[in-house]
C-alpha cells in the first residue's frame, strides 16, 4: 500500500510537470505567433508607405545639393540654384545649405546606385535601421509589448513623414542616443568602446540634420536629473564615480556635436528657424489643430499612446518607483508633442522602452501582451481599411511601372525645355522649385521650398 501511494504521488507529480511544460510551450508558441504577426504588420505597412511615389518637394533640392557637394568637393556657402537669392550672404541660408550635407550626399549615393530605384531601396534600408534601433531601446522588456509599440510608432512615423527627408535620420539617432544614455546610467561598468559611442552619435547627427540640438538638450537633461538624484537616497543615484564618468562622456558628446559646418552658430540659427517657419508649416501646429485641419488619423493614435504612458507614469509615482530622468523626458517631450506635431516622434521613441519594461515587470504580463497585440490588430485593420489607405495599395503597381516620381511635378515641361534646349532663368511655382533644381541643373529657379526668396523679400521690405 505504501509503495502504491509513492507510485501515485510520483505519477501525479510527473503529470503536473508535463502540464507545466505544455503550458510553457503554449505560451512560447503564442508569443512567437504574436511577434510573427506584428512583424508581418510592419512589413505590410512598409510596403504600403515606402512604395509611394516621391512627393516631398524638399527631397529634390536635398539630392541636388548632395550632387553639388559630390561634384565640387566642398559645401555651398551661397545658394547655387536660385537667381533671386544667389547674391545673399545670410546666416539662415548658410545654415540651410550646410546643415544636412551628410544626408544629402547619402541620397545622391543611393541614386547613383540605382537611379530612383536606389532611393526606394534607401527607404527600406532606413526603415529597417530605425526598427532595429527601436528594438534595441526596449529589448530588455516584454517582447510582444515591445513589437506592438514598435509597430504603432512606425505606423505613425511612416504615415506622417517621407523617409527620404533628413529629419528621419534625427529620429534614428535620437533613439540611438536614448539607448546609449540609458545604458550609461544603468550599467555599473562601461567599456572604453562604449564610451566612444555617444560622442560618435552626436558627431554623425550634427552633420546629418539640424535636429542634433534636441540631442544636446537631452544630454543636458540627463546630466541634470541624474545629478538631482543625489539629493535623496530614495531617488536611487548611480554613485559618485559613475556619475563623474557619465558627465565626462556626456560632455564629450556635447563637444563632438559642435564639430559641424555651423559650430555653435547652429543653435542660434535653429532657434531663429523655428520662429521664421512655424506659421505656414503644419509640422509646427498643435496636434489638435492639425487633426481638425487635416484629419490625420495618426494623431488620435498618438493621443492613445500618450494616455497609456500617463497611466504607467501615474502607477509608478503611486508605487514610488518613478525614475525622475524618465519622468522629465516624458513630461517635456509629451508637452512638446501635443503642442507641436514635429515633436511627436521624439515622445514615441521615449515611450517604446517605457511600455516594454513596464510590461516585463508585471506579474500578469501575459494579459498585457495579449491586450497590446489586440490593440495592434485593431489599429492595423482600421488603418488598412480607410479609404485613403486603400488607395495606397495601388503603390504596388509602381514595382512594375518603375514610376517613382509623383505626377504632381511637371515632367513633361522639363522634357520640353530639354528637347528645345531652352536657356535662361525660370519663373516657377514654389513647390516645383526643388524638382526643377534637380532636373534642370543648368537653369536657375525663381523660388523653391527652402524659402530663401522670402528672406530676400523681407530684406527689401526692411530697407524700404
Per run of 10 residues, the mean pLDDT along the chain (length 464 residues) is 51 50 68 87 87 91 95 89 76 83 96 93 95 90 89 90 92 95 84 88 94 94 93 85 91 94 76 54 78 77 90 86 89 92 92 89 78 86 72 71 86 91 90 92 89 60 44
What is the chain's length? 464
- Residue 413 three-state SS: helix
* Spatial distance between the Cα atoms of 462 and 446, rounded to a whole number of angstroms: 21
> Is the separation of the CB atoms in 427 and 410 below 8 Å?
no
* Spatial distance between the Cα atoms of 116 and 96, rounded to a whole number of angstroms: 24
- The reply to whether 225 falls in a domain is yes
What's the number of domains the chain is made of?
Answer: 1
The whole-number pLDDT of residue 135 equals 93
- The reply to whether 319 falls in a domain is yes
Cα–Cα nearest to 56, from 134, 168, 150: 168
DSSP annotation of 445 reads B
Find how far residue 17's CA is from the centre of its chain: 46
* Spatial distance between the Cα atoms of 411 and 159, rounded to a whole number of angstroms: 26
- The reply to whether 48 falls in a domain is no
- The reply to whether 252 falls in a domain is yes
Kindly compute the dihedral angle of the four CA atoms of residues 305, 309, 314, 315, in this order, to the nearest 10 degrees.
Answer: 110
What are 168's three cell numbers? 528621419
What are 242's three cell numbers? 559613475
- The reply to whether 44 falls in a domain is no
The whole-number pLDDT of residue 11 equals 42
What are 4's three cell numbers? 502504491
Give me the half-sphere count of Cα atoms (radius 13 Å) on the Cβ side of residue 320.
Answer: 4
* Spatial distance between the Cα atoms of 301 and 304, rounded to a whole number of angstroms: 5
The whole-number pLDDT of residue 251 equals 94
- The reply to whether 80 falls in a domain is no
- The reply to whether 13 falls in a domain is no
- The reply to whether 460 falls in a domain is no
Cα–Cα nearest to 439, from 453, 419, 459: 419
DSSP annotation of 53 reads P
* Spatial distance between the Cα atoms of 73 and 414, rounded to a whole number of angstroms: 28
Domain that holds residue 349: 118-367
The whole-number pLDDT of residue 286 equals 82
How open is the CA angle 382-386-389, to the nearest 5 degrees? 110
The whole-number pLDDT of residue 126 equals 95
Q: pLDDT (tens digit, 9 = 90+) per residue, 163-214? A: 999 999 999 999 999 999 999 988 777 788 888 999 999 999 999 998 899 9
* Spatial distance between the Cα atoms of 30 and 245, rounded to a whole number of angstroms: 43
Q: How many helices (H) and strands (E) does the chain have?
A: 21, 0
Amino acid at each position: 500500500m505504501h509503495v502504491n501511494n509513492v507510485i501515485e504521488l510520483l505519477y501525479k507529480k510527473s503529470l503536473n510537470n508535463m502540464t507545466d511544460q505544455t503550458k510553457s510551450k503554449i505560451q512560447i508558441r503564442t508569443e512567437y505567433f504574436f511577434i510573427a504577426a506584428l512583424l508581418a504588420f510592419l512589413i505590410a505597412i512598409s510596403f504600403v508607405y515606402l512604395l509611394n511615389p516621391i512627393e516631398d518637394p524638399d527631397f529634390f533640392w536635398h539630392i541636388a545639393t548632395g550632387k553639388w557637394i559630390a561634384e565640387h568637393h566642398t559645401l555651398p556657402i551661397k545658394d547655387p540654384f536660385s537667381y533671386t537669392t544667389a547674391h545673399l550672404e545670410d546666416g539662415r541660408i548658410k545654415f540651410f545649405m550646410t546643415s544636412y550635407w551628410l544626408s544629402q550626399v547619402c541620397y545622391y549615393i543611393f541614386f547613383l546606385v540605382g537611379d530612383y530605384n536606389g532611393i526606394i531601396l534607401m527607404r527600406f534600408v532606413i526603415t529597417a535601421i530605425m526598427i532595429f534601433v527601436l528594438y534595441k531601446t526596449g529589448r530588455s522588456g516584454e517582447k510582444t509589448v515591445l513589437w506592438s509599440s514598435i509597430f504603432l510608432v512606425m505606423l505613425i512615423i511612416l504615415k506622417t513623414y517621407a523617409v527620404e527627408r533628413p529629419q528621419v535620420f534625427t529620429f534614428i539617432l535620437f533613439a540611438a542616443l536614448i539607448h546609449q544614455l540609458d545604458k550609461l546610467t544603468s550599467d555599473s561598468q562601461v567599456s572604453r568602446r562604449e564610451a566612444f559611442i555617444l560622442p560618435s552619435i552626436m558627431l554623425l547627427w550634427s552633420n546629418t540634420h539640424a535636429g542634433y540640438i534636441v540631442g544636446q538638450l537631452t544630454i543636458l537633461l540627463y546630466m541634470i536629473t541624474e545629478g538631482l538624484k543625489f539629493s535623496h537616497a530614495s531617488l536611487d543615484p548611480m554613485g559618485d564615480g559613475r556619475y563623474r564618468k557619465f558627465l565626462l562622456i556626456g560632455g564629450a558628446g556635447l563637444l563632438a556635436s559642435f564639430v559641424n559646418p555651423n559650430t555653435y552658430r547652429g543653435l542660434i540659427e535653429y532657434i531663429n528657424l523655428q520662429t521664421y517657419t512655424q506659421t505656414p508649416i503644419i509640422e509646427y501646429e498643435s496636434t489638435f489643430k492639425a487633426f481638425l485641419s487635416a484629419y490625420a488619423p495618426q494623431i488620435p493614435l498618438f493621443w492613445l499612446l500618450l494616455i497609456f504612458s500617463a497611466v504607467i507614469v501615474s502607477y509608478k509615482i503611486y508605487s514610488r518607483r518613478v525614475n525622475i530622468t524618465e519622468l522629465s523626458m516624458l513630461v517635456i517631450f509629451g508637452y512638446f508633442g501635443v503642442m507641436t506635431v514635429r515633436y511627436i516622434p521624439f515622445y514615441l521613441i521615449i515611450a517604446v522602452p517605457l511600455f516594454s519594461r513596464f510590461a516585463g515587470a508585471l506579474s500578469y504580463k501575459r494579459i498585457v501582451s495579449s491586450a497590446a497585440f489586440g490593440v495592434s490588430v485593431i489599429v492595423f485593420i482600421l488603418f488598412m481599411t480607410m479609404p485613403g489607405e486603400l488607395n495606397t495599395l495601388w503603390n504596388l503597381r509602381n514595382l512594375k511601372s518603375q514610376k517613382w516620381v509623383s505626377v504632381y511635378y511637371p515632367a513633361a515641361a522639363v522634357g520640353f525645355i530639354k528637347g528645345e534646349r531652352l536657356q535662361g532663368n525660370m519663373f516657377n511655382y514654389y513647390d516645383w522649385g526643388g524638382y526643377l533644381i534637380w532636373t534642370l541643373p543648368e537653369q536657375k529657379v525663381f523660388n523653391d521650398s527652402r524659402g530663401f526668396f522670402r528672406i530676400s523679400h523681407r530684406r527689401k521690405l526692411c530697407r524700404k
